[in-house]
Amino acid sequence: MRTRIAFFLAAGVVAAAPLSAQQPKSGNPILQGWYADPEAHLFAGEYWIFPTYSAPYNQQVFLDAFSSKDLVTWTKHERIVDTASVKWARRAMWAPSIVEKDGWYYLFFGANDIQSDSQPGGGGIGVARAKSPAGPFTDYLGHPLIDKFHNGAQPIDQMVFKDKDGSYYIVYGGWRHCNIAKLSKDFTSIVPMPDGTLFREITPQGYVEGAFMLLKDNKYYFMWSEGGWTGPNYAVAYAVGTSPFGPFERVGKILQQDSTVATGAGHHSVIQSPASKNWYIVYHRRPLGETDRNHRVVSIDQLFFDQKGMIQPVHITRDGVVSDPLRR
C-alpha cells in the first residue's frame, strides 16, 4: 500500500510521518446499538450498511440503515421499513439485502421466521422498494416473494446478486441448505433458469446460513456462516466457483472469533472502496462477556486477497479501519 507523507515543522526540524498514522480510525463496533447481519453497499457516493435490529423476535418489527462518507462517522436512518408498511410481516424482520435498479432501491428481507410451509399467517422473503436508500420503503408485492421451503432451505438470509450478464439472482437459505433462484426483471417473481429449474440447491460443506456471493476477476466467491449463531464458534467460510451455480467446494474459514477481542464473528458482507481500492468485510460479533444471544454488534475490518485470488484469514480488531473517504 502506498504511504502518503505528511510533513510538519517542530523545533526547526522538518520531519515526515505516514499520513495513515494521523487519520482517524473507525473503531469496532462501528454502529451504536445491537445490530447484526449487516449488508454493506456503495450508493450515491456514500457507504451504506443495512443490518438486522438484534432483539427478541417480537421486537424485530423494523429495519434501520446507516450511511457514511468515510467508514468512520455514521448517520442513522431510522425505520426505513417496518411492519406497518408490510402488512403480512409481524415480527423477525431479518438480514436485509438491497439493490439499486432503474432508479429504485429494492430491499429484500425475511420476516416471521416460518418453521413450515403451513405456518399460520405465513411469511418468508419479501420485497420493499423506495426512491432512496434511506427509505421510506413500502411493500412491493403485498405478499412474500418466497414463502415456502424448497430443497430444505428456510426462506431467510437472502442476498441478491447481479451477474456479469445483467441477470439478478437471489441466494438464500437457513437450516443448512442454500438455494439460488433467478429473479424476474421487475423483481416480482422467480423465473425458470435455462434448465427449467426454479430453485437450485448449491449448499457447500459446512453451510448453515448467511449466504453472500461476490464476483471478482471472473471468479465467484461464495461465502456463508457456519456454527451456531448464539455461540462463540460462529464463523464465515468460503468457496470459489466458475459460475453462480458452482459447484462450490469449501476452501476454509476466513472469519472467526478471537477470544481476546470478541466472539461469534459471522454473517457478513464485503465491499471495495472505489477510492482506495481496499476491500472490507462488515460483520457482526458478540462483545466479550455478553451472554444475551441478541447482544450483537456490527464491526468492520480489512479483507485481503493473495496473488492467487484466495481470501486471507481476517484478523478481527478493536481499532477497525482507517478513514477511507469516497471523495478525496
pLDDT tens for each residue of 272-324: 999 999 999 999 999 999 999 999 999 999 999 999 999 999 999 999 999 99
Q: Is residue 327 part of a domain?
A: no
| CA angle centred on 160, ends 90 and 252, rounded to 5° | 105
Q: What's the CA gap between 104 and 101, in Å, rounded?
A: 5
**CATH code for the domain in which residue 176 is found:** 2.115.10.20
Angle at 197 between CA 196 and CA 201, to 5 degrees: 160
Q: Select from 171, 39, 55 the least CA-distant residue to 105.
A: 39
Q: What is the DSSP letter of 305?
A: B
Instruction: Find out whether 35 and 296 touch, Cβ atoms under 8 Å.
Output: yes
Judge whether 18 lies within some domain.
Answer: no
Residue 285 lies in a domain: yes
What pLDDT, on the 0 to 100 scale, is given for residue 23? 85
What pLDDT is recorded for position 22? 74
Residue 24 near residue 323, CB atoms below 8 Å: yes
Mean pLDDT value of segment 130-144: 98
Q: Which of 15-29, 47-61, 290-304 has the lowest mean pLDDT?
A: 15-29
Quote the number of domains for the chain.
1
Mean pLDDT of 61-71: 98
The answer to whether residue 292 is domain-embedded is yes
* Tally of CA atoms within 13 A in the half-sphere of 297 that contains its CB: 19
Residues belonging to the active site: 37, 209
Reduced 3-state DSSP string for 27-62: CCCCCCCCEEEEEEEEECCEEEEEEEECCCHHHCCE
Q: Which domain holds residue 34?
A: 26-303
Residue 90, domain member (yes or no): yes
The answer to whether residue 30 is domain-embedded is: yes
Kindly state whether residue 252 falls inside one of the protein's structural domains: yes
Q: Which pLDDT tens digit goes with each residue over 93-135?
A: 999 999 999 999 999 999 999 999 999 999 999 999 999 999 9
Indicate if the pLDDT at residue 3 is higher than 70: no
The whole-number average pLDDT for the span 5-31 is 57
Query: Is 90 exceeded by the pLDDT of residue 69?
Result: yes
Calpha distance 270→282 (Å, rounded): 6
Residue 295, pLDDT score: 98
Mean pLDDT across the chain, nearest whole number?
Answer: 93
pLDDT in tens, 150-183: 999 999 999 999 999 999 999 999 999 999 999 9
At 1 the pLDDT is 39
* 4 domain residue, yes or no: no
**pLDDT for the residue numbered 287:** 98
Rounded CA gap, 203 and 180, in Å? 10
- Percent of the chain residues past pLDDT 90, beyond the cut: 92
